[in-house]
Structure 1
Amino acid sequence: MNPASGPQTVLIEVIDVPSPRIVYLNGAFLPFEEARVPIMDRGFLFADGIYEVSAVLDGKLVDNAAHLARLDRSLAEIGIRNPHTLAEWEKLETELVARNGVSEGLVYMQVTRGVAERDFAFPPADTPPTVMMFTQGKTIVANPLAERGAAIVTVEDIRWKRRDIKSVALLAQVLAKQVAAAAGVAEAWMHEDGLVTEGSSSTAFIVTKERVLVTRPLSTALLPGITRAAVLRLAAEEDLRIEERPFSVAEAKDAAEAFYTSASAFVMPVSTIDGHKVGEGRPGPLTLRLRALYLDIARGG
């Protein structure tokens, strides 16, 4: 599969759901209650690990090859060997989704540097990485937020400088999400020097009053979103004007439309930012068009 050709789907045969929730840990499919990781795992001690998330829609993995390519890149960036080939990962995901009978939701994958006596330096090179996977059922398509638009807040971006690596060190994102939760809204957009970097678990987009689609260019300041890339390809195919450039919180509030993208939200319209209506305060036509296009190809259309 070629990630550059657009979201790819992998057919999964959904079987009867067993009574226990099944997870994958270090070569074995186990009931959730039986899965155990040693306290000396470096993911637990140092957040020394990488994770990835793929969506499941209609019993199929969405854009999975691109997600696995990003997993491979993130692992390489911090010097953890990838324990599986793309085909091996895909086989594990497929079986895990089938064992849990997931029709719509997520597959979570995590690889840490493994188990070793606590020391900041890397353990011996032959230390086996810890591999863990689980599924979550989730309503993605019929999410009510997609109809009325999500309210979001803005927060200062306090993360480290290598945000292009999908690290399990997510404390700053957790704190941002908690600000959003306390405000009773769906997401937080983070900013530095007044410029939006990205959402706490998403990529930020705006549509200007001149109907230009704007999102921040890729760099170490933000994660290379897989759904982001797919949406930009769709926008180009639709001959939409695109600008990859920084934009400010003020510009976002004054935009005609805004939305965010992620594996778990697809294309999510934004109705308000910090209580300020974006456009008419409801999902805009360009956002809804891009969401419909993405859903179509995610379903194999």
Structure 2
Amino acid sequence: MSRIVYVNGAYLPEEEATVSIFDRGFLMADGVYEVTSVLGGKLIDFAGHAARLARSLSELQMAAPCDDEELLAIHRELVERNGIEDGMVYLQVTRGNPGDRDFAFPADDVAPTLVLFTQSKPGMAESPLAERGLKVISIPDVRWGRRDIKTVQLLYPSMGKMMAKAAGADDAWMVEEGAVTEGTSNNAYIVKDGTIITRHLSEEILHGITRAAVLRFAAEAQMQVEERPFTIEEAQAADEAFITSASMFVMPVVEIDGAAIGTGTPGPVARRLREIYLEESRAKAV
């Protein structure tokens, strides 16, 4: 049985879903996206994802395809129609189809394209990676400067993941001017002497929804947090390291560029934050 997907107001079997070859998302990567996790059939951090979507659209002067209430209804309908217990809902908005290719933005009467689909990931919260921990490599960060906008320009992060795979690692941390910016699809952290260290928010990194929640939970648990850049060498000398993302929640990192972090096993801070995040997020899921 094929998935039911959503394209511009219609729920369709995936093989019947189409978007114009003139869509600016296809021609110009002129689009933004969000990924919302589903646990127990409910959406995790939906309000945060909706707010970040609105910000991304605003930064690109792109019209919103619908309001948050309708967007939530579409998410829920897709989860129900596809029987998603654990998994993700992918959402993409592009500037639409102006009828031809042009670098200039189309007229305001061109409607944005809205596409959503689900991905089923049974047992998503019980990933064995959380017990093993990730191995990462470092790579130069050569992306465009507005990384705070969640655009569909994902070629270099994709290349980064392939670089990691070729090196026998799980992911890559990107480095700019000597400091870690973020992972290919996640925010990066280290822990030293009980203090959680992660890069401060700016245009240089994505403002992670999971990041915001985890730092809030850390503060509530009276953990010390320091928001500043850190180097790969500092990370290799840390007691722990971890990442956060909507699909991986809190995931320990145990090796960077071949050097073991701490004991080379998932540390207590990452483990505890993962427990807290999953517990609190499930309780507040919609």
Give the TM interval when normalised to the shorter protein: over 0.9
The AA in structure 2 aligned to 1:214 is: I
Q: Which residue of 2 aligns with 1:64?
A: 46
Aligned to 1:129: 112
User: Which residue in 1 is equivalent to 2:191?
Assistant: 207
- The question of 1:217 aligning with 2:200 is answered yes
Cα distance between partner residues in 2 of 1:182 and 1:94: 38
Within 1, Cα distance between the matches of 2:129 and 2:36?
A: 20
Q: Distance in 1 between matches of 2:86 and 2:53?
A: 22
8 Å CA contact retained: 1:140, 1:266: no
C-alpha distance in structure 1 between counterparts of 2:167 and 2:220, whole Å: 37
Contact 1:26 1:131 survives alignment (8 Å): yes
Q: Is the 8 A contact 1:114 1:130 kept in 2?
A: yes
Whether 1:195 aligns to 2:179 is: yes
2:246 counterpart (233, 242, 263)? 263
Equivalent runs, 1:40-189 vs 2, <5 Å: 40-116=22-98, 117-138=100-121, 139-189=123-173
For 1:71 and 1:57, how far apart are their aligned partners in 2? 21
Per-residue deviation, 1:111: 0.4
Q: Which runs of 5+ in 1 are unaligned?
A: 1-18
| SS at structure 2 position matched to 1:299 | helix
Letter in 1 for 2:171: E
Alpha-carbon distance in structure 2 between the residues aligned to 1:295 and 1:235: 13
Matched AA of 1:95: E
- Equivalent residue runs for 1:14-25 within 5 Å: 19-25=1-7
Matched, 1:290 2:249: no
**2 CA distance for matches of 1:174 and 1:149?**
21
1:250-292 alpha-carbon deviations (Å, 9 max, x no partner): 1011100000000000000011111110000000011101000
Gapped regions of structure 2 (runs ≥ 5): none
Please say if 1:273 is aligned against 2:251: no
Counterpart residue identity of residue 128, structure 1: A
**2:252 aligned with 1:250, yes or no?**
no
CA drift of 1:298 comes to 1.6
Query: What SS does the corresponding residue of 2:283 show, helix, strand or coil?
Result: coil
CA-based RMSD:
0.9
Superimposed CA distance per residue, residues 228-259 of structure 1 (whole angstroms, 9 cap, x where no aligned partner): 00010011011111100000011011100000
Deviation at 1:20, TM superposition (A): 2.0
- Does residue 300 of structure 1 match 2:269? no
TM-score (structure 2 length as normaliser): 0.97
Deviation, structure 1 residue 94: 0.3
Deviations 1:31-87, CA, capped at 9 Å, x for gaps: 000001111000000000010110001111001000010001001100111111111
User: What displacement does 1:185 show?
Assistant: 2.1
